[in-house]
Amino acid sequence: MTKPANRLHFLDAIRAFAIMMMLQGHFVHALLRDTYRDKSNIVYSIWEYFRGMTAPTFFTITGFIFTYLLLKQNTTGFENPRVLKGIKRAVKVIFWGYLLRLSFYAVFKGTLNPSFFYVDVLQCIGTSLLLLIGIYLILYRYNKNLFQYTILGIGVVIFILQPMYGECILEFLPKTIANYFTNRNGSIFTLFPWFGYVCFGSFMATLFLKYGKHRAFYTYAVITLLVVGLGLVFYSSGLLMLLHNLTGVGIFKSVAYNNFLFIRLGNVCVLFTIFMLAKNYIKHPVINKIGGRTLSIYIIHFFVLYGSWFGLGLNRFFYHDLTPVEAVIGALLFVAGVCALVLYYYKYEDKLKAQLHHVLDLGYKTIGINIPEVFLSFKNEIIQKYRSIRYARR
């Protein structure tokens, strides 16, 4: 197997690990009983710390994989086929991000639920990819190094300025737009600081592409990532305080006192190191398939756990109600069940689509309803409701 294939294989393994960590994290967080959420308990504290690594890992690996595939092409600009694919993928991810938060009960009442406008991980990832494509189109045709170090600089600036934009409310913007930049209205993920992780992942990808053909690349990469990761975890706060003492700039001190961004980036670097060391032991097709189906897994888990459109998920019936043993067993079954369901679907995708098409045709002939027209009418109704709400708020 060639080195590029090895690298992509190891990246899919990280993505598979991140999505499974997300599944169990969401399950336990949603269903574990409040009396067991004791941060003084060493087991719960360890679980909570590792759960905090999931989102930084996912955003970093997203920037890495997208940039790796983007820059690997021989063409640049809009001639690069990965640009159009990336735009389509980003729009699809953003669309699903909003669709999953839609409540049919609210729509039937002639309105949209407030949580529909919240920005969650999918909207944030999709918008981050669009920003990354925009930066690439502007800079990469002029100078490869300019794109490489600009993206690194953007990531650093986003992390350093976190105390400034972290308190922004942005009341002058429509909430639909403001929700991408502030969580004051209920958004779960916002572009800043999470786009910063995408930028760091993108920068790492440029290094892999630039030096990946060297014979001792993996050795140096493992050592470098481990040193950088441990340095960020244990010494980044001290370095920020040193910069504050040398320059007198207060923002360095503010970041040092709440230094979760750089520490989590260090965690991600260490995680990369572990998977790079284990890359010869994780060559299983199931791992690759899980890593390649993260969007589908996320969508299915959202329906099963949160109920999405109708709110009839596990969260409705077992919200903060499970003991630790029940939560652990349930999380394992939840992860295995969701992944198996998605992989099973794609294994028999063509057959299942043919059966669904047959059922729809049969239903149309039986009751005389044109299903595509019903969905088109429903979509137009949602758009009209959104526009009426938006204009009413002005």
Counting Cβ atoms within 10 Å, is residue 106 exposed (0-12), middle (13-18) or buried (19+)?
Answer: middle
Structure tokens at 311: 């709110």
Residue 239: its pLDDT value, please? Answer: 96
Reported as a pLDDT band with limits 50, 70 and 90, residue 171 is confident
Alpha-carbon dihedral sign for residues 29, 254, 61, 151: positive
Give the mean model confidence (pLDDT) for residues 7-22. Answer: 86
Reported as a pLDDT band with limits 50, 70 and 90, residue 327 is very high
- The DSSP code for 322 is B
SS3 content of the chain, % helix, strand, coil (to 5): 80, 0, 20
SS3 352: helix
Rounded Cα distance, 394 and 75, in Å: 45
E-only strand ranges, 177-304? none
Residue 181: its pLDDT value, please? Answer: 92
Q: For 246-297, what is each residue's pLDDT tens digit?
A: 999 999 999 999 999 999 999 999 999 999 998 888 878 888 899 989 999 9
Q: Are 268 and 60 in contact (CB under 8 A)?
A: yes
Total H helices, total E strands in the chain: 19, 0
Among residues 11, 116, 160, 153, which one has the least CA distance to residue 72? 11
Residue 357: its pLDDT value, please? Answer: 61
Rounded Cα distance, 373 and 394, in Å: 32
Q: Contacts from 184-190 at CB under 8 Å and sequence distance 24+? A: 185/117, 185/118, 186/114, 186/115, 186/117, 186/118, 187/118, 187/119, 187/120, 188/118, 188/119, 188/120, 188/121, 189/55, 189/119, 189/120, 189/121, 189/123, 189/124, 190/119, 190/124
Tell me the pLDDT of the chain averaged across its residues.
Answer: 87
The CA distances from residue 381 to 95, 310, 385, in Å, are: 16, 18, 6
Residue 99: its pLDDT value, please? Answer: 93
Give the mean model confidence (pLDDT) for residues 61-77. Answer: 91
Q: Are 23 and 299 in contact (CB under 8 A)?
A: no
| pLDDT at 7 exceeding the cut of 50 | no
Burial string for 240-272 (b: 16+ CB within 10 Å, else e) reads bbebbeeeeeebbebbbeebebbbbbbbbbbbb
Bridge partners for 376 per DSSP: none
Check whether the bond before 193 is cis (ω within 30° of 0).
yes
| pLDDT at 3 exceeding the cut of 80 | no
- Domain ranges within the chain, ordered by starting residue: 3-352, 353-394
Q: Are 244 and 228 in contact (CB under 8 A)?
A: no
Q: For 337-377, what is each residue's pLDDT tens digit?
A: 999 999 988 887 767 666 666 565 665 566 555 555 655 66
Residue 1: its pLDDT value, please? Answer: 35
The stretches of 258-370 forming alpha helices (DSSP H) are 260-277, 285-292, 294-306, 314-318, 324-347, 349-367
Residue 160: its pLDDT value, please? Answer: 95
Share above pLDDT 70 across residues of the chain, in percent, rounded to a whole number: 87
Residue 5: its pLDDT value, please? Answer: 42
The three-point CA angle 84-294-196 to 5° equals: 70
Residue 366: its pLDDT value, please? Answer: 63
Give the mean model confidence (pLDDT) for residues 384-390. Answer: 58
Q: Whole-prediction pTM value?
A: 0.87
Listed range (127-131, 154-158, 201-205, 376-380) with the worst mean pLDDT: 376-380
Give the mean model confidence (pLDDT) for residues 59-75. Answer: 92
The CA distances from residue 239 to 76, 124, 261, in Å, are: 38, 30, 14
| pLDDT at 231 exceeding the cut of 80 | yes
Output the CA torsion 94→97→98→101 (10° steps).
Answer: 180
Rounded Cα distance, 267 and 53, in Å: 7
Among residues 244, 266, 264, which one has the least CA distance to residue 254? 244
Reported as a pLDDT band with limits 50, 70 and 90, residue 179 is very high
Reported as a pLDDT band with limits 50, 70 and 90, residue 308 is confident
Share above pLDDT 90 across residues of the chain, in percent, rounded to a whole number: 61
Residue 384: its pLDDT value, please? Answer: 63
Residue 347: its pLDDT value, please? Answer: 83
Structure tokens at 361: 């045709």
| pLDDT at 53 exceeding the cut of 90 | yes
Rounded Cα distance, 282 and 7, in Å: 12
Residue 170: its pLDDT value, please? Answer: 79
